């Protein structure tokens, strides 16, 4: 049977410096979604990558006495190492310097030109070198770039324009009617607010002075504006060659994760490119907030940056993934701190899940096989209710709610142990004892499935402790959700501390 496909993307990251926690946040989120969808048995394509062209990269490379390609190769390597460390299960890492990508960009520009959506002009404006974009006076804060607090330069040059203005009405209609879905609701309202009150201007899509970029196919003096180049990755990453009649089986994206700072690019410019190509729009653009550290924006100049590697050194890769999503609703800004992370780790993972596992395994130790005797209806009902809530939360990308369901089931198991007192049963009621251990082990198997998208390595380790390992992984979640689906457990005799206290 042909599997349903699911296409999820992160933004491609601008590789002018090493990855920071914000890029980790987007990427882990997309990975959680990809793993959850694979659990459902879907044929998932998960795309991430690097945005490598533009003036800023060329300047930084020069500062380091390197060729641009040499420089981006180095930075891309740091991204790939970090994604390996975090078990990011991407299907493809696209680079905008890939020849195939460059060809697709050129092809798409030719299509747009044939459709008379591109014209020659000249642009004068205020340009932020850091953002690689022009700003209107209105957008500035104290006459400086609102994101970089730096002075802008005045640029005038020949360039090509995309008739973005032609897409104002169609975009308003598509977004309002939900055909171009943007979530959370407040982000949809934000972009509609902009579209309904301001005139959408045509946008310069080439640069004359920037040499480090994709050449405009009909004018070798010009290179493609980095944002147009970058957005096309979502098409070229699927191996798409530019024929609107032959898109990939994964098209359109089911879910595109972006940060709130790039909302306009991913609705207006991206929307316009797709509409021009006359191919289906993404099913969902999901916009997340920023991470702040103890109430402040993390920035190198403030010296309050948490390096991703540092978090992983302290908590491990899986717990880092968990902690980034357990506090806040995905979509809102979240204010993190190391002390919050320590508290949450100890409360929810060391004392919570970790403790439940070690209590259960200690009781089971040396007792041989753990077999199903009779199905416990109360447990069955509880677990199926948890699965319903969990799935609904995950489908809505409400990761913190899904983790609350996971924690609620742990609490249920702990109460069950306290009530049943298996250590007493062991002395007087062997059958009763075995039933309790079976129920707990089976509950841990379910918990482990719920946590798998967040903590793939730990989940694997725990499945092995339960004597399941690979066979469990090969199942889809639908089968795994059945209570008493595994009838006999051969629990490992080797007890490991899965989440040591920190
Ligand atoms: Zn800027």
Contact present, 284 and 256 (Cβ < 8 Å) = yes
**Cα 142 to ligand 1 centroid, rounded to whole Å:** 13
What is the pLDDT tens value at each position of the chain, 502 positions in all? 678 999 999 999 999 889 999 999 999 999 999 999 999 999 999 999 999 999 889 989 999 999 999 999 999 999 999 999 999 999 999 999 999 999 999 999 999 999 999 999 998 889 888 877 778 888 888 999 988 888 999 988 899 999 999 999 999 999 999 999 999 999 999 999 999 999 999 999 999 878 899 999 999 999 999 999 999 999 999 999 888 888 899 999 999 999 999 999 999 999 999 999 999 999 999 999 999 998 888 877 778 889 999 999 999 999 999 999 998 899 999 999 999 999 999 999 999 999 999 999 999 988 889 999 989 999 999 999 999 999 999 999 999 999 999 999 999 999 999 999 999 999 999 999 999 999 999 999 999 999 999 999 999 999 999 999 777 777 777 778 999 999 999 988 887 889 999 9
Secondary structure of residue 45 in the 3-state scheme: strand
Measured in Å, residue 149 CA sits from the centre of ligand 1 at 7
CA of 406 to the centre of ligand 1 (A): 41
Angle at 88 between CA 87 and CA 89, to 5 degrees: 105
Going from the Cα of 128 to the center of ligand 1, the distance in angstroms, rounded, reads 5
Q: Which of 64, 65, 73 minimizes the C-alpha distance to 15? A: 73
Smallest CA-to-CA distance from 334 within 410, 284, 399, 394 is with 399
* pLDDT value, residue 470: 73
Cα 448 to ligand 1 centre (Å): 44
Bridge partners (DSSP) listed for residue 286: 183, 257
- Report how far ligand 1's centroid is from the alpha carbon of 141 (Å): 11
Place of tokens 């009617």: 177
Q: Measured in angstroms, how far is the CA atom of residue 56 from the centroid of ligand 1?
A: 11
Domain boundaries, the chain: 5-289, 340-489
The pLDDT value recorded for residue 1 is 62
Please give the distance, rounded to the nearest whole angstrom, from the Cα atom of residue 260 to the centre of ligand 1: 15
Q: Residue 140 C-alpha to ligand 1 middle, in angstroms?
A: 10
Query: How far apart are the CA of 75 and the centre of ligand 1, in A?
Result: 21
Task: Could you please state the CATH topology (level 3) that the domain comprising 340-489 is classified under.
Answer: Isoleucyl-tRNA Synthetase; Domain 1 (1.10.730)
Q: Which of 374, 456, 494, 397 is nearest to 35 (CA)?
A: 456
Specify the pairing of strand 291-293 against strand 334-336. Answer: parallel
The bridge status of strand 118-128 relative to strand 153-162 is antiparallel
Q: Which CATH architecture has domain 5-289?
A: 3-Layer(aba) Sandwich (3.40)
SS3 133: strand
29 CA to middle of ligand 1, Å? 26
């Amino acid at each position: 049977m042909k599997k349903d496909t699911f296409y999820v993307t992160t933004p491609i990251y601008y590789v002018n410096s090493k990855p920071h926690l914000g890029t980790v946040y987007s990427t882990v989120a997309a990975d959680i979604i990809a793993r959850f969808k694979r659990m459902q048995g879907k044929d998932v394509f998960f795309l991430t990558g690097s945005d490598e062209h533009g003036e800023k990269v060329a300047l930084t490379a020069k500062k380091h006495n390197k060729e641009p390609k040499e420089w981006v190769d180095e930075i891309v390597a740091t991204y790939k190492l970090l994604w390996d460390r975090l078990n990011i299960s991407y299907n493809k890492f696209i680079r905008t310097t890939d020849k195939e990508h460059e060809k697709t960009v050129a092809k798409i520009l030719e299509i747009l030109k044939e459709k008379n959506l591109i014209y020659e002009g000249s642009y004068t404006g205020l340009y932020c070198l850091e953002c690689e974009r022009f700003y209107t006076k209105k957008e500035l804060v104290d006459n400086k770039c609102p994101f970089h607090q730096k002075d802008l330069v005045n640029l005038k040059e020949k360039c090509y324009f995309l008739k973005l203005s032609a897409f104002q009405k169609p975009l308003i209609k598509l977004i309002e009617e939900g055909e171009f879905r943007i979530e959370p609701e407040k982000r949809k309202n934000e972009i509609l607010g902009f579209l309904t009150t301001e005139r959408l201007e045509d946008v310069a899509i080439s640069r004359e002075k920037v040499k480090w970029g994709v050449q405009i196919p009909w004018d070798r003096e010009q290179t493609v504006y980095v944002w147009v180049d970058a957005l096309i990755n979502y098409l070229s990453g699927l191996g798409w060659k530019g024929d609107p009649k032959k898109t990939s089986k994964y098209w359109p994206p089911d879910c595109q994760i972006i940060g709130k700072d790039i909302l306009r690019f991913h609705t207006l410019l991206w929307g316009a490119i797709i509409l021009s190509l006359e191919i289906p729009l993404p099913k969902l653009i999901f916009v997340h907030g920023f991470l702040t550290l103890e109430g402040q924006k993390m920035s190198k100049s403030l010296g309050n940056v948490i390096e991703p590697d540092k978090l992983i050194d302290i908590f491990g890769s899986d717990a880092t993934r968990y902690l980034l999503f357990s506090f806040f609703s995905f979509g809102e800004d979240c204010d993190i701190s190391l002390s919050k992370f320590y508290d949450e780790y100890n409360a929810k993972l060391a004392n919570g899940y970790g403790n439940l596992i070690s209590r259960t395994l200690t009781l089971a130790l040396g007792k041989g096989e753990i077999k199903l005797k009779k199905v416990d209806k109360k447990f069955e009902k509880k677990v199926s209710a948890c699965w319903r809530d969990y799935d609904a939360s995950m489908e809505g990308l409400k990761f913190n709610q899904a983790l609350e369901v996971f924690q609620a089931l742990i609490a249920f198991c702990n109460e069950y142990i306290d009530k049943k007192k298996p250590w007493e049963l062991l002395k007087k009621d062997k059958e009763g004892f075995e039933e309790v251990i079976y129920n707990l082990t089976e509950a841990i198997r379910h918990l482990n499935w719920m946590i798998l998208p967040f903590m793939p390595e730990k989940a694997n380790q725990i499945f092995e402790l339960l004597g399941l390992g690979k066979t469990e992984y090969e199942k889809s979640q639908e089968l795994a959700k059945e209570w008493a689906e595994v009838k006999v457990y051969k629990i490992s005799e080797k007890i490991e501390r899965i989440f040591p206290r920190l």
